[in-house]
């Protein structure tokens, strides 16, 4: 399909806006870590927030920021949009300027330079052409485009947060268990492969093997005699270390929610595309490359992102029909979208 290069943005008046609010749960399918402070340089503890308890006391509760999930949704949505544009235009990929890249994936940045960026009219046109900018917002030139998506904090269902939970979760079995019973420190070791004869003896040249085996020598001053002495350390410089991450245990249930304010049907479909892409492998927090952070999302009656079901990111993967309107928009306005993004740089 050949996309039109027309610069006329879609008319939002033909699509009356609507607002949505969704609340539900995330369940940890694997342990979750969300970095806070470092302890001794080798251990990362969970990000915590101070919570006022009903009895007047306080508790530091591990809470996952909504911004971390929002950022993942943005990345997934923008990546899916660019892939769809490339298909519509018959290209292998869409190449962006650094300014356009940062706008799409990081929200952009403001500039005081009158000769750079875009004016109000261009920003309005860009927002109409790229519905996800209406959803997530961004800053370009001297303009701030406010986003319509608000993502709430992801709060563990536990005794310390029971008074803050939605009514549907107040009587949840986890709501009487302390969150501190659901945290632990996971430790890991990075091995020094140069010390493994099966690897180093086969893939390192002999001079380097000898160098690794030779003891390192350091010079120290004898306090009694004042003479400088050489002391040999153990052979080889170790390249191994032990480190750890505080985690929330698998099986923990979290309260979560999001809202969309005055979005058009086109913006709503664009958001659903982002959510569907995220649902391919839904993860939260850090260390996802090591198996942490896999979750199951459930917004009753609307969305279930469950990696255990192995559904593809299509029109049924988030429990709602979508795709036709948004894909038609990208195909029809693909050339104009690319031109608008190129104009940013």
pLDDT band of residue 212 (cuts 50, 70, 90) is: very low
Predicted local distance difference test score (pLDDT) of residue 134: 92
The Cα 189–Cα 310 span in angstroms is 32
Asked whether the beta carbons of 19 and 260 are under 8 A apart, the reply is yes
Among 82, 12, 80, which Cα is nearest to 273's? 80
48-57, 108-117, 328-337: range with lowest mean pLDDT: 108-117
Percent of the chain with pLDDT over 70: 67
Return the sign of the alpha-carbon dihedral for residues 78, 84, 89, 94: positive
The domain limits of the chain are 12-186+251-279+290-305+321-344, 198-239
Which residues neighbour 112 within 8 Å (Cβ) at sequence distance 6 or greater?
142
User: Among the ranges 7-11, 253-257, 308-312, which has the highest mean pLDDT value?
Assistant: 253-257
**pLDDT tens for residues 270-319?**
999 999 899 888 998 877 677 778 999 998 877 767 777 655 555 455 55
| pLDDT value at 6 more than 60 | no
Over residues 35-50, the mean pLDDT reads 71
Between 312 and 79, the higher pLDDT residue: 79
**Crossing angle of helices 265-278 and 66-89, rounded to 10°:** 100
Phi then psi dihedrals of residue 161, to 5 deg: -115, 5
**pLDDT tens for residues 24-40?**
999 999 998 877 555 55
Burial 73-103 (b: 16+ CB within 10 A, else e): bbbbbbebbbebbbbbbeeeebebeebbbbb
| pLDDT value at 71 more than 80 | yes
Asked whether the beta carbons of 17 and 270 are under 8 A apart, the reply is no
Asked whether the beta carbons of 61 and 156 are under 8 A apart, the reply is yes
**pLDDT tens for residues 128-172?**
999 999 999 988 767 788 899 999 999 999 999 999 999 999 999
| pLDDT value at 15 more than 60 | no
Among 341, 306, 334, which Cα is nearest to 6's? 334
The Cα 232–Cα 219 span in angstroms is 9
Q: What is the mean pLDDT of the chain?
A: 78
| pLDDT value at 13 more than 60 | no
């Amino acid at each position: 399909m050949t996309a039109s290069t027309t610069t006329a943005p879609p008319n939002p008046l033909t699509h009356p806006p609507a607002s949505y609010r969704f609340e539900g749960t995330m369940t940890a399918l694997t342990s979750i870590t969300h970095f806070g402070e470092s302890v001794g340089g080798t251990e990362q503890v969970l990000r915590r927030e101070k919570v006022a308890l009903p009895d007047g006391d306080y508790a530091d509760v591990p809470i996952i920021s909504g911004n971390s999930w929002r950022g993942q949704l943005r990345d997934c949505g923008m990546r899916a949009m660019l892939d769809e544009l490339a298909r519509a235009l018959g290209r292998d990929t869409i190449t962006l300027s650094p300014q356009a890249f940062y706008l799409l994936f990081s929200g952009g940045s403001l500039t005081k330079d009158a000769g750079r960026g875009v004016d109000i009219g261009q920003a309005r046109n860009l927002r109409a052409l790229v519905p996800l900018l209406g959803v997530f917002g961004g800053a370009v030139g001297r303009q701030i485009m406010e986003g319509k998506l608000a993502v709430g904090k992801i709060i563990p269902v536990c005794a310390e947060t029971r008074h803050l939970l939605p009514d549907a979760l107040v009587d949840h079995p986890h709501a009487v268990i302390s969150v501190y019973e659901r945290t632990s420190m996971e430790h890991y070791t990075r091995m020094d492969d140069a010390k493994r004869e099966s690897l180093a003896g086969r893939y390192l040249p002999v001079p380097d093997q000898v160098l690794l085996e030779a003891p390192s020598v350091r010079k120290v001053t004898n306090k009694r005699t004042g003479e400088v002495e050489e002391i040999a350390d153990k052979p080889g410089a170790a390249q191994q270390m032990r480190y750890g991450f505080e985690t929330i245990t698998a099986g923990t249930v979290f309260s979560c929610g999001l809202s969309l304010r005055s979005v058009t049907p086109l913006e709503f479909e664009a958001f659903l595309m982002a959510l569907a892409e995220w649902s391919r492998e839904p993860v939260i927090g850090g260390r996802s490359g090591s198996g942490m952070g896999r979750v199951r999302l459930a917004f009753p009656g609307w969305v279930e992102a469950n990696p255990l079901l192995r559904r593809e990111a299509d029109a049924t993967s988030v429990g709602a029909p979508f795709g036709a309107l948004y894909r038609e928009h990208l195909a029809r306005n693909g050339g104009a979208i690319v031109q608008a993004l190129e104009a940013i740089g």
